[in-house]
Structure 1
Amino acid sequence: MLNDQRIYLDNNATTKIDPRVLDAMLPYFTEYYSNANSIHLDGLNVKEAVENATFQTANLIGAKQNEIIFTSGATESINLAIKGLQHLDRKKIITFSTEHSAVLDTCAFMEAAGYDVKYEPVEQDGLINIENLKNQIDDNTLIVIVMMVNNETGTIQNIKKISEIAHSKGAIILCDTTQAVGKIPIDVTDLGIDMLTISAHKFYGPKGIGALYVSNQSKLKLNAQIHGGGQQKNYRSGTLNVPGIIGLGKACEIAQAEMKDDEIRISQLRDKLETELLKIEDSFVNGSVSHRMYNTTNICFPGVWSEQLIMSLGNISVSNGSACSSVTSKPSHVLKALGLSDDDALSSIRFSLGRFTTLEEIDFTIKKVTELVHQLRT
């Protein structure tokens, strides 16, 4: 019975570290603990391991090793990518109303610094209106910032088309792939991506490590945001987080090998969960159903406050929005951007499944959520 066992369905917030990733990391805490910049033999051995992890990371997205900058995670990568462009002449930034707070808050900083930031709306299904983007972009546009997969609804954007539009006016494309890397195939060259963000803990790697991809072809030179010893070509000073980098590399290697199998199994579980929960009267899915990440469903249960449902679920971990904004009781800005009322936005639950989700857990969750929605409505 699963009554007292923890069921984790909040994998878009963070994932459990894969035991194989942890095994790869442990020696770099205990045995191979040298600084990767030291020139003695131990340091050179660690440097070689870091280079291998860099290859694993780059290989997952079709990049070259010298296009990878290691950071503390996607938020730092986003800050470096956007703030690092302040030396360029163009002053217009285009982003979208459903972006993560890391992008929106950084754009607000740029706005205060004198940039013209356009926060474009999306369609009711969460997809970007390509024609609207064409009308907004001009010769003064510095950068177009867009997430590949929305963290709350799982909606997948047409990045290739968006990058073509951006490049037609000489603008840079920054793609937040935090929810996409390790889950679906990404080829930065084919998609025309200039910069891309990665966070290891979103696909079974450790917290506190991520990366920023910067295309060689774009010839971008970013202003560093962290100064010091000049590590990583002066882009990001500081002693390398070697265990984290090894963990990120291993997570990338596993993802590349098992991505298709994960997709098949997880999508079947998600579809079963969604199909059964939509039998609850008046419930509906938020966001696109046809252009969506296979592990995510965001369902509204009108008349039931999501916070109350989450607390009542006890050992079942789900979410009512981004983990970065769940400390507030405000309706999700993503769901509001899709046109939901405050009440419906506050009655929506995100279920995000992962590599370690089981059929037994899904069956138990269906039963428990169905019972609680009926109880709370009465």
Structure 2
Amino acid sequence: MKQHHRIPLMLCSLCTASLSIIAQNTTNLPTSMYGVGELSASDGGRYAGMGNIGIALNRTGFQNTLNPAAITRMDSTCFIFDVGASASYARYSFQNEHSSSASGNPNRFSMGFRVLPRWYAIVGASPYSSVGYVIQTEEPVEGMPGSYTYSLFEGTGGLYRCYVTNAFALTKRLSVGINLGMILGTVTQSETQEGAIVEYESSKRAFYADFGLHYEFNTAGRRKWAAGLVFAPSLQINHDNNLTYSNSSTSEGVDKSYHSRKQYLPMHMGAGVSMTTERWVVTADYNYMDWSRNTSSYASMKYENQHKLNIGGIYTTNPRLPRSTELMGGVGFSNSYINLRDGKMHYLEVSGGVSFPIRYSYLSLGATWRKQMNSRSSLMQESRFSLNLNITFGERLAKSKLR
């Protein structure tokens, strides 16, 4: 019996769109149906325009959330605030059919400051993952030609990360740091068929921690080199699950808790290197995420360890000024942590952006184009264009606090 599945559409709280694509098998389901959802590629900070690279990047006015050790160049006379928002447009295709979606959300808030002469801190929140899909199936009824049963599958929600970063400048060149926080959120999945609705609601929470190291090399000449390392252990996600069943043809219903498979945050290791001159910053990051502790309840899907490589650069237009306009760009390549029926999915990303100084503040704009490249034509193809807006501003401390 052949099933016809409409290609799912990624949703957000601000936007939904209709679907018109019909595919032939379940290998077209998006990664957001599984695991903890589609991981947030970044938190859209000041350097979103260079592919959100930052493991080896320690710069004045930059609240680095990718390496907790790389914030010791923060202006010690200010409270530094970061506020950001993002919008994206995605286009999905399968064979000769196409669909699209648009979304927009605030995506970060953080506040950084110097606690003591060698101690720096950040308090903030940013997205961790998102879940959003709509799947409509059409199944012929056996023995009844021309009759079909229609089902609708929907998923919404996502996880947010709330964190506190502490960094310590052990020497002029060596810094260490730690992020501690919680990942919280709710994911809702529902199945509707012939007036019957089954809804699965899962409230998730997990303790989060990662550690960082940043070192600046003592080099002669105009070039300065730096390196960074980060590590985050795999930690279990706790669930509070509730199942609700209702049927339009009867007043009876079910409302009870249910058990689900254990899920874990992936173990993460990353390394980065940067080279700085008077006008240029060139940097590269490699990230590895180990998903081996997670198992799937879908026979057609399994988890894969994830590799990400990003290269980016910053060009300072007038280095003689204390604050100058910066141009940035970057490119990245990664694989998906979801494998559908042995079909591998990879992503190519190209980014560009600009950061404008406004007194003690920066207004940053970043654009990213992402193309999904699949090993088989039976997998849905995706291309996505996203924009990031970020404002970094400082609030001067009282003179009595500067002494």
Q: TM-score range by the shorter chain?
A: under 0.3
Q: Of Structure 1 and Structure 2, which has the larger fraction of its residues in strand?
A: 2
Q: Of Structure 1 and Structure 2, which has the larger fraction of its residues in helix?
A: 1
Bigger Rg, which one: 2
